[in-house]
Structure 1
Amino acid sequence: MTRSVTPRRKTLNTALAWVIGLLIFFPILWTILTSFKTEAQAIASPPLFLNFNWTLENYAIVQERSDYMRFLWNSVIIAGGSTILGVIIAVPAAWAMAFVPSKRTKDILLWMLSTKMLPAVGVLYPIYLVFIRLGLLDTRGGLVVVLMLINLPIIVWMLYTYFREIPGEILEAARMDGASLKEEILYVLTPMAIPGIASTVLLNFILAWNEAFWTLNLTAVDAAPLTAFIASYSSPEGLFFAKLSAASTMAIAPILILGWFSQKQLVRGLTFGAVK
């Protein structure tokens, strides 16, 4: 039996959703607006919202001072590489947990999730020493591995949830038709879970793109991504809010555009299996 929703309640829910959405988006909007102000306008009191002299000077200064494209390319490689590597490892793991019965599956999943509760600084020192010993410090390959391991529990959890919604009888039929384990995962399971895999890839790409702790501590110059690019505008002389806002806008613009164009796929994947 479906529950009817009155027009008044629908209007209130819509208005509440818009208010919450605007509150969440306002810091991003304020950062973008501040990037077009002068330094004096950026710290003006009371704050200037729209009535200020718009300028592109901050973007020109940021571009002259820093090699933005190098930082951007590092972010794309690190975020993309860690996400792809994580999915390659997580798909077989999630398949085994979803379709191979075991009393320990839930315990393993909870243990994997518990690793996300450990403060990152608690393992910084040993990882830093390992990176020095292996020559991985300030390398994109080293960061790809670290970020993959950090986000791997989330990837496995999400894929396990999506795989559980796929009827096991379909995989059994594939086995009866002579499909090998590799063919079962690649040609039967994966195509059926495309919405879930796509949303997992998008979400973990965003998490890797925004990761600051490890990228700031394990890079210096060569492999520094956009998080280091933003941090470079915090200097001992003080914070230059307009230039910092311009650098932040340039750093978040690619991921905002990606999220905007992939929002339908992301929502579809996050609600995959919610309604039967």
Structure 2
Amino acid sequence: MTAIATTSLPPMARRARRRSAALGLLAWVAGILFCLPVFWMLLTSLHSEPDAATNPPSLTASLTLDGYKKFFGAGGGADPAPALINSVTASVMSTLFVLVLALPAAYALSIRPVRKWTDAMFFFLSTKMLPVVAGLLPIYLFAKNAGMLDNVWLLVILYTSMNLPIAVWMLQSFLADIPVSVIEAAHMDGAGLPTVLVRIVAPLAGPGIAATSLICFIFSWNEMLFARVLTGVVAETAPVFLTSFVTSQGLFLAQLCAASVVVSLPVLVAGFAAQDKLVQGLSLGAVK
């Protein structure tokens, strides 16, 4: 019956169905290719160091949790808790500061546009054109003279400034879809700007704010260059802590993969928890 129904379709519908099936198969292949390195990292983290170092790698090697035990300090290893706490502090605080600063800016550039707002948007974008490494030396000298080296709050300031342009651009596109009549009705009822932002704009742009927050959090969590150069022991972050498994004695691959899995978990959990908001926010305004 299925074959008869398929052959009874007009040629254009059959081509559309074949195209859809081909695109679906391509999406599955792309998804598997993207997930394969993560699966391989997880599998390697469950091997012993000799089994993880074999070439080619063995899929039938015995599984063990020694890599995770050593990562969490068993056997005299370094304690990862301070680095994880520093990463959480820098990522969460910088994301909160970005939202507090970006939401009023996006409101001014979309719902209540300022004069030459496109020039302001281009200025925000132009700040991302400078390579990060080009500003590393001036920032290092400033932090050294200010006595802020190896300070987690220096990372909070840097991550806030780095993610602010992206947040303004994203939130501006989200807030532009909010009906102006709703904002005007709130003003007529006597609501001030803080009330409008908190009680009107924020709930209506919730998916966009969630998507922006998640992206800023991921960028802050994964940042390594500034954290590597500007921190030492006190403000060391999780990505910097991962480099401690590459030593002069060799590469401890199983421990490194175990540490990478643990460090990746907060981003993965946040992504899965806000998956619907992320998709809804990133697609907001795509169809006018």
Decide which structure has the larger Cα Rg and report it: 2
Q: Distance in 2 between matches of 1:44 and 1:53?
A: 13
Q: Offset at 1:6?
A: 3.6
What TM-score do the two structures reach when normalised by structure 2? 0.89
Aligned residue for 2:128, secondary structure, equals: helix
Q: Distance in 1 between matches of 2:52 and 2:22?
A: 35
Q: Does 1:17 align with 2:23?
A: no
Deviation >3 Å, runs of 4+: 3-7
Q: Quote the residue 1:51 is aligned against.
A: 60
Q: Quote the residue 2:42 is aligned against.
A: 32
Q: Quote the residue 2:81 is aligned against.
A: 69
Q: Offset at 1:220?
A: 0.7
What CA RMSD, in Å, does the superposition of the two structures yield over aligned residues? 1.7
Residues 94-243 of structure 1: matches in 2 within 5 Å? 94-243=106-255
Q: Distance in 2 between matches of 1:237 and 1:116?
A: 39
Q: Does 1:41 align with 2:51?
A: yes
Length, aligned pairs only? 273
Aligned residue for 1:249, secondary structure, equals: helix
Q: Offset at 1:169?
A: 1.9
Aligned residue for 1:137, secondary structure, equals: coil
Aligned residue for 1:275, secondary structure, equals: coil
Q: Distance in 2 between matches of 1:92 and 1:138?
A: 31
- The sequence identity of aligned pairs, in percent, is 40
Gaps of 5+ in 2: 1-11
Q: Offset at 1:51?
A: 1.2
Which 10-residue stretch deviates more, 4-13 or 211-220? 4-13
What TM-score do the two structures reach when normalised by structure 1? 0.93
Q: Offset at 1:201?
A: 0.6
Q: Distance in 1 between matches of 2:164 and 2:276?
A: 24
Question: Contact conserved, 2:110 with 2:176, CA < 8 A, in 1?
Answer: yes
Gaps of 5+ in 1: none
Aligned residue for 1:37, secondary structure, equals: coil
Q: Distance in 1 between matches of 2:113 and 2:125?
A: 20
Q: Distance in 2 between matches of 1:106 and 1:216?
A: 36
Q: Distance in 1 between matches of 2:270 and 2:248?
A: 34
